[in-house]
Structure 1
Amino acid sequence: MNKVFSHTLFTDFDIDLFKAGKHYRLYEKLGAHLIELNGVKGVYFAVWAPTAQSVSVVGDFNYWTQGEHQLEVRWDSSGIWEGFIPELDKGALYKYKIQSNNGEIATEKSDPFAFYCEKPPHTASVIWDLEHKWKDHNWMENRENHNGLNRPYSVYEVHLGSWKRHISDNRFLTYLEFAEDLVDYVKKMGFTHVEFMPVMEYPYDPSWGYQLVGYFAPTSRFGKPQDFMVLVDKLHQAGIGVILDWVPSHFPDDAHGLGFFDGSNLYEHPDRKKGYHPDWKSLVFNYGRNEVRSFLISNAIFWLQHYHVDGLRVDAVASMLYLDYSRKEGEWEPNIYGGRENLDTISFLKEFNETVYANFKGVQTIAEESTSFPMVSRPTYDGGLGFGMKWMMGWMHDTLDYFQKETVYRKFHQNDLTFSMTYAFTENFMLPLSHDEVVHGKRSIVGRMPGDEWQKFANLRLLYGYMFTHPGTKLLFMGNEFGQSREWNFESSLDWHLNQYPYHEGVKDMVADLNKLYKTQPALYEKQFSPDGFEWINYSDHENAVISFIRKGNNPKEDVIVVCNFTQIVRSNYRIGMSRLGNLTEIFNSDDKKYGGSGVNNPHHLTIEPSPYDGKDYSIELILPPLGTIVLKFS
């Protein structure tokens, strides 16, 4: 095999953009690219390593020998090493052998821009392409109609390694198997979107994918890059959107990864007070370095462009925003204004969101942000961070705390439920019951519910009924939809066998019906982020532990009325105030016998009476089922 030939894919303009932090498609230049040069097929390599003394491409084609195929550094002080190796083909294994100029021993690094990686625990990069004949044209052309903020948005959060495994040997399913089993299941359940916990290549299974090494490569645990494209393609063809967890907050210090890449703090911040994460013992990106910003924003653009994903859920935003996050006094330094905010991060997140929304129609970015940082999901031109949505962590914590209480004590804690409405419209909130709530001794969601088995599942159905009628979009972690009894275990499949039991099957059927209700009732989604879409009927009936409210859309005739009874006592002749006369029909009842409930329901036709109540001119009498959510509509 011939030595390395001089060649470049970079123009002077590319270099200027890179240095300025404005090159948002670096993956087209850096990395390994199959090309033809002067009639000879081979691979062009380019890697950013500004403090390196030398960079060699080593691989299975040269017996991993340093110096056999040495790259040349560009003359323009960009720190980019590049070259063309003829006769190399798709599938070859490679790494970069980097000799730093500070006397450090040469280290072998995986390609930060590799499109494909060896299956862990192996760590080499694989020469690959991104060719795929997409069949999701209809979805992509109409994506705005599926993915808008005024559309139903019900997300099924999935960890691919443990959603389902082969029974015989606990082996992972493949992307192609997910393209059949998962797609069929999500479509049957009626979720509008799937959110995948990180699919980018990661070395350590217990990290659940949140310690990334191959930012541009879907993990090879489940197949090839094109196999993952098939999965996305099939989901789109089934009318299901795809959200990826994205982790720009930190990365592991594995020897083959980004850490100390060229013998210097290249990707991580050189100040340990900013460059090291004490919670996860990982490294933190240097958001003030232009080339790092280009790397990260290019990575976001890459998944949206080449994998057709519809949204990015940005992990651990709070840890990025605050200089003192999980740090004790003396372990952090204030910003130039004396505050605790990380100004470089704020600038980066704004640029990330602006770039995503400017380049792609009908996509969403979603922040997992657990503090009261203002205007996370407000446009940057109004001073916000620019995200489309933000996880409503306060709602999640308060609601689960409330539901864990014995029903006899709930009347003393009604504010835990109603407090969320005091700030529900300050952000575009998504209501999450995520993987974080079913691990580390927290128990499963149904396992937190008080009472005997019937009451536990009645509480679970009540919780989901309340969640799906509360303003905001929805997210359920896999297994929650059928009431998995044990905590989530990333090393094994969900307990699918539980669906043979009536209570579990009942919850699953109810979640499917809730998804249908959410999608077919405009009042539940058209104004889900606006105070115009919500009105309390009564939030102060503490003694009975009952709340009632109206959800509103664009058409007042489509309004729905929601009443929740948080005790196991049937409330007969329960009266609520109404603003107008008419007839109501019960369109959902979490206590329905088909869900495992007791079957307490209301007559088919209910007439509003000219009798003032709850400060309104009219009222109606209802029967409230035990531990139940009912939804009514004008008929």
Structure 2
Amino acid sequence: MQQRLDDITKTGSLITDYDVYLFRQGTHTRLYEKLGSHIAISSGVKGTFFAVWAPNAVEVSVIGDFNGWVAGKNPLRARSDGSGIWEGFIPGVGHGDLYKYYIRSRYNNYSVEKGDPFACYWEVPPKTASIVWDTSYSWHDRAWMRRREEFNNPAAPISTYEVHAGSWRLPDDGKGRCMSYQELAVELASYLLDTGFTHVEFLPIMEHPLYASWGYQTLGYFAPTSRYGTPQDFMHLVDYLHKRGIGVILDWVPSHFPSDGYGLSYFDGTHLYEHEQPGQRYHPEWKSYVFNLGRNEVRSFLISSAVFWLDRYHADGIRVDAVSSMLYLDYARRPGEWTPNIYGGRENLDAIGFLRKLNDTVHANYPDTLAIAEEATAWAGVTAPGATGGLGFDLKWNMGWMHDTLDYFALDPIYRKYRHDILTFSISYAFSERYILPLSHDEVVHEKSALIGKMPGDEWQKRANLRLLFGYMFTHPGKKLLFMGGEFGQWSEWNHETGLEWHLLQYAPHRGILRWVTDLNRLYRRKTALHECDAKPSGFEWVDFSDAEKSIISYLRRGRSVDDIVLVACNFTPVPRYGYRIGVPFGGFWREVLNSDAVEYGGSGVGNLGGVEAEQVPAHGRAWSLPLTLPPLAVVIFTPEGA
């Protein structure tokens, strides 16, 4: 589909007075249609319209390969409305031309060459020019988009595979390169269909100067990284995944940005995008600049970026990175390094207002998409509506569950009975928000070890513990997220330069782990009791959480229907338990639908021979019970016969 060219003959501009009003109010949600570079027609001549916000400049011109990179040859004019926007039309400039803005500030004799904050395409790093680009694309995902609400609603099964696009799988061509978006589409879609994940979440795909930042040091807030292909290539990737029934979530970073000279920092000789106050300008943890979320124009920039990915790239959701760092003025700062808010508190009122506005905008424009928060504190109401005092996200990463669970699993089983409480504590707050249970990239880097490496014991026990961890996660209330490599028990920490250890799948134990995750995904999607009431207390019921001595827990997951029920029993020791009695709500035959100790998963084959008939023997306050065999370091999952 060819791009429709705007005719700017009458006004010489794409920008209206109303656009300027919205921009300055912080409520413009589609600035990418106005600022940046846009192929257009003026008086019958084809060229490109440029517009950039630089309110403290005295001179702005476009430099590029079309004018020898000479400043002043193609000057922009400042709008007379005080908006600080410079604009102009350059005949003959078009698709594929390289450009930057030359900016001369009114302060400190500062002049600089900057990339376009609204560029939709950049040169491949370390090159830094923006590229005029026609981003038109013919989409083929209408069927997915019509039904998207079914796959993203709170009652749906959401099992997300977290991926770093550059290192998921390196091509076997001996060139040491990353897969292209086109190659990734075919390989990744096939893998996700085979393994049963419902969604894929990409670490930030937005353009970033440092590959080793994994995208979390973003500069191109409106451009997919050119490392793997063109904007249309990334559109094809999303399109291809959608056609195969897989949702796409994009990591997005509105909290901070890198200080590279061609980027957003000190843009027009002033702290324009970054905060003006020294105590709020620089992020001590990430050595980067913090957005000034109290500035309306910056709000318009960021909210437009979020909307852009949902609009132009059909993303099914955004996962907002580092929300905790945005909410607290004293985050990662020592006493004396931060300034309290007007009420004397540590809450960042500008960030709170921004996040509410962001989520309101996303839901007003794309109500069938997801807004997800990575928020690691006990901030109340992250997933509550903004109108009731919440932040308005749809889902929140449950970092408390993740930390407690991994701390528990790291214990030698002989000591687990002394920390039984950290295993069971998560249920006390499991319904206070709508949660995702994350086992993400952050847990398998920086010498934290791979997931399987965190497990105690010999190799067999490590694999058994890992299967138990996954079984516990998939049956615990909350949506699921697993970082690539964990699903087959990769031994090494993730390294963005080397990719995953796919060769491990030639060994039966690792194929067994992958098969286990695949079967968990299938059961999770098939059994509504495991996902329908994730955020409701009615969806979970303890059978017994008090057997610390044997390190065993058992619980029921329930759907909306009375007979929609799943029984889960976890044995966190290497000692098999025979005749272990667990109370159930009614009699009949209970079928063992999954057992992580099954031989096909790499286990020892201890189990219940397909199921157990309930006996009218009271246990755990119930009239009926099952005499079960609980395999070592394993989870067993039962459903009533016929359910």
What is the CA-CA distance between 1:130 and the residue it aligns to? 1.7
Q: Is 1:249 the counterpart of 2:262 in the alignment?
A: no
Q: Is 1:63 the counterpart of 2:62 in the alignment?
A: no
- Selected match of 2:128 from 94, 107, 123: 123
Q: Is 1:105 the counterpart of 2:99 in the alignment?
A: no
Aligned partner of 1:276 in structure 2 is 282
Aligned partner of 2:160 in structure 1 is 155
Q: What is the aligned-residue identity percentage?
A: 57
The C-alpha deviation readout for 1:426-448, integer Å capped at 9, x for no partner, is 01010000000001111000001
2:582 and 2:626 in contact (8 A); partners too: yes
What does residue range 441-590 of structure 1 map to in structure 2 within 5 Å? 441-590=447-596
What is the CA-CA distance between 1:166 and the residue it aligns to? 2.3
What is the CA-CA distance between 1:507 and the residue it aligns to? 0.4
- Selected match of 1:227 from 221, 225, 233: 233
2:593 and 2:610 in contact (8 A); partners too: no
Aligned partner of 2:211 in structure 1 is 205
2:39 and 2:47 in contact (8 A); partners too: yes
Q: Is 1:24 the counterpart of 2:29 in the alignment?
A: yes
Q: Is 1:303 the counterpart of 2:309 in the alignment?
A: yes
What is the CA-CA distance between 1:605 and the residue it aligns to? 4.1
- Selected match of 2:270 from 258, 264, 272: 264
What is the CA-CA distance between 1:161 and the residue it aligns to? 1.3
2:182 and 2:234 in contact (8 A); partners too: yes
* AA of the residue aligned to 2:73: E
Aligned partner of 2:614 in structure 1 is 608
- My pick for the range that moved more, 131-140 or 605-614, is 605-614
- Selected match of 2:95 from 74, 84, 90: 90
Q: Distance in 2 between matches of 1:166 and 1:143?
A: 32
What does residue range 318-329 of structure 1 map to in structure 2 within 5 Å? 318-329=324-335
Aligned partner of 2:5 in structure 1 is none
2:611 and 2:638 in contact (8 A); partners too: no
Q: Distance in 1 between matches of 2:457 and 2:110?
A: 62
- Selected match of 1:633 from 627, 635, 639: 639
Aligned partner of 2:86 in structure 1 is 81
Q: Distance in 1 between matches of 2:16 and 2:175?
A: 51
Q: Distance in 2 between matches of 1:105 and 1:403?
A: 56
Q: Distance in 2 between matches of 1:22 and 1:70?
A: 29
- My pick for the range that moved more, 101-110 or 308-317, is 101-110
Name the SS for the 2:175 alignment partner: coil
Name the SS for the 1:46 alignment partner: strand
* AA of the residue aligned to 1:439: V
Aligned partner of 2:15 in structure 1 is 10
Name the SS for the 2:422 alignment partner: helix
Name the SS for the 1:513 alignment partner: helix
* AA of the residue aligned to 1:533: G
What is the CA-CA distance between 1:492 and the residue it aligns to? 1.1
Q: Distance in 1 between matches of 2:98 and 2:476?
A: 51
Q: Distance in 2 between matches of 1:474 and 1:370?
A: 17
What is the CA-CA distance between 1:302 and the residue it aligns to? 0.3
Q: Distance in 2 between matches of 1:537 and 1:634?
A: 16
Q: Distance in 2 between matches of 1:223 and 1:579?
A: 56
Aligned partner of 2:295 in structure 1 is 289
2:55 and 2:84 in contact (8 A); partners too: yes
Q: Distance in 2 between matches of 1:103 and 1:322?
A: 33
Name the SS for the 2:267 alignment partner: coil
The C-alpha deviation readout for 1:367-411, integer Å capped at 9, x for no partner, is 000000111011112211000000000110010011111111111
Name the SS for the 2:122 alignment partner: coil
Structure 1: state its 5+ residue gaps.
none
Q: Is 1:53 the counterpart of 2:58 in the alignment?
A: yes
2:317 and 2:371 in contact (8 A); partners too: yes
- My pick for the range that moved more, 373-382 or 150-159, is 373-382
The C-alpha deviation readout for 1:543-588, integer Å capped at 9, x for no partner, is 1110000000011212000000001111100001122222210001
- TM-score where L is the length of structure 2: 0.97
Aligned partner of 1:381 in structure 2 is 387
Aligned partner of 1:166 in structure 2 is 171
Q: Distance in 2 between matches of 1:500 and 1:529?
A: 39
Q: Distance in 2 between matches of 1:131 and 1:339?
A: 47
Q: Distance in 2 between matches of 1:106 and 1:383?
A: 44
Q: Distance in 2 between matches of 1:297 and 1:470?
A: 34
* AA of the residue aligned to 2:529: A
Q: Distance in 1 between matches of 2:533 and 2:584?
A: 20
What does residue range 169-188 of structure 1 map to in structure 2 within 5 Å? 169-188=175-194
* AA of the residue aligned to 1:419: F
Cα root mean square deviation, aligned:
1.0
Q: Distance in 2 between matches of 1:346 and 1:261?
A: 25
Q: Distance in 2 between matches of 1:332 and 1:105?
A: 29
Q: Is 1:618 the counterpart of 2:624 in the alignment?
A: yes
Q: Distance in 1 between matches of 2:271 and 2:106?
A: 13
Structure 2: state its 5+ residue gaps.
1-7
Name the SS for the 1:413 alignment partner: helix
Q: Distance in 2 between matches of 1:332 and 1:515?
A: 45
Aligned partner of 1:41 in structure 2 is 46
What is the CA-CA distance between 1:620 and the residue it aligns to? 1.3
* AA of the residue aligned to 1:541: D
Aligned partner of 1:191 in structure 2 is 197
Aligned partner of 1:334 in structure 2 is 340
Aligned partner of 2:407 in structure 1 is 401
* AA of the residue aligned to 1:534: F
What is the CA-CA distance between 1:356 and the residue it aligns to? 0.2
Name the SS for the 1:56 alignment partner: strand
The C-alpha deviation readout for 1:511-562, integer Å capped at 9, x for no partner, is 0111001000000011011101000000000111100000000112120000
Q: Is 1:134 the counterpart of 2:135 in the alignment?
A: no
